[in-house]
């Protein structure tokens, strides 16, 4: 099931790129964290540093509007330090996601060389694997059956500048899906991203 889904996402992305008016490569850094909500426990995790990278495609719609998508590897997670009865424990979780953003962008030309834009849209994510490191011991994150859910859904918002084929941008992802496979716990992704893309054909 996992391999079939990955194959479908990859095939769908490259089918879009084949028909795209502009395609490119995007990469950058993630400042990733998660929100936790559960009764009887106060958890305040901190951000970890990750990366995102992959092919992207852009389609002009009309006037200043365009649609962009991609197939991106994205490293997300969090780190947390908890204390209980005088004992403390540190844990860092890192999850490898395959993501498909679906953005509508509005562009405004400052002059012949520079174009600024803002964009918004949902993203779909699938957790490929994950690691938890607690007090020096590393274990695989369990998915399903009381562990984490593989599928993620959220909303992204961002802005950037086009300098010909080079496109630096910033964005923020708000996770909407509960990643905990437990009705009493709510866990959601939140990620601030700094990116640079190179667009072929511009």
Per-residue pLDDT of the chain (202 residues; tens, 9 = 90+): 555 555 555 555 555 554 557 889 999 999 999 988 876 666 778 999 999 999 999 988 888 999 999 999 999 999 987 766 556 678 899 999 999 999 999 999 988 889 999 999 999 999 999 999 887 788 888 887 777 899 999 999 999 999 999 999 999 999 999 998 887 888 899 999 999 999 997 7
Which of 103, 47, 99, 91 lies closest to 73 in space, CA to CA? 99
**Domains and their CATH numbers in the chain:** 2-200 (2.40.160.20)
Element housing 9 (H / E): helix 2-19
CA distance 46 to 195: 21
3-state SS class at 179: coil
Predicted TM-score (pTM) of this structure: 0.84
| Pairing relationship of beta strands 65-70 and 48-62 according to DSSP bridges | antiparallel
Which of 62, 176, 66 lies closest to 118 in space, CA to CA? 66
């Amino acid at each position: 099931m996992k391999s079939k889904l990955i194959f479908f996402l990859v095939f769908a992305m490259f089918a879009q790129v084949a028909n795209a008016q502009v395609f490119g490569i995007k990469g950058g850094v993630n400042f990733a964290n998660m929100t936790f909500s559960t009764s009887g426990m106060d958890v305040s995790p901190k951000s970890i540093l990750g990366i995102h990278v992959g092919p992207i495609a852009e389609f002009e719609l009309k006037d200043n509007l365009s649609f962009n998508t991609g197939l991106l590897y994205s490293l997300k997670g969090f780190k947390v330090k908890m204390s209980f009865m005088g004992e403390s424990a540190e844990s860092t979780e890192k999850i490898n996601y395959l993501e498909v953003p679906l953005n509508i962008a509005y562009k405004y030309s400052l002059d012949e060389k520079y174009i600024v834009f803002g964009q918004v849209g949902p993203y779909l994510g699938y957790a490929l694997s994950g690691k938890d490191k607690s007090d020096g011991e590393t274990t695989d994150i369990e998915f399903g059956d009381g562990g984490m859910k593989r599928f993620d859904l959220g909303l992204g918002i961002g802005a950037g500048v086009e300098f010909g084929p080079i496109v630096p941008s910033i964005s923020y992802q708000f996770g909407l899906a509960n990643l905990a496979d437990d009705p009493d716990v709510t866990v959601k992704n939140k990620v601030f991203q700094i990116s640079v893309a190179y667009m072929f054909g511009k």
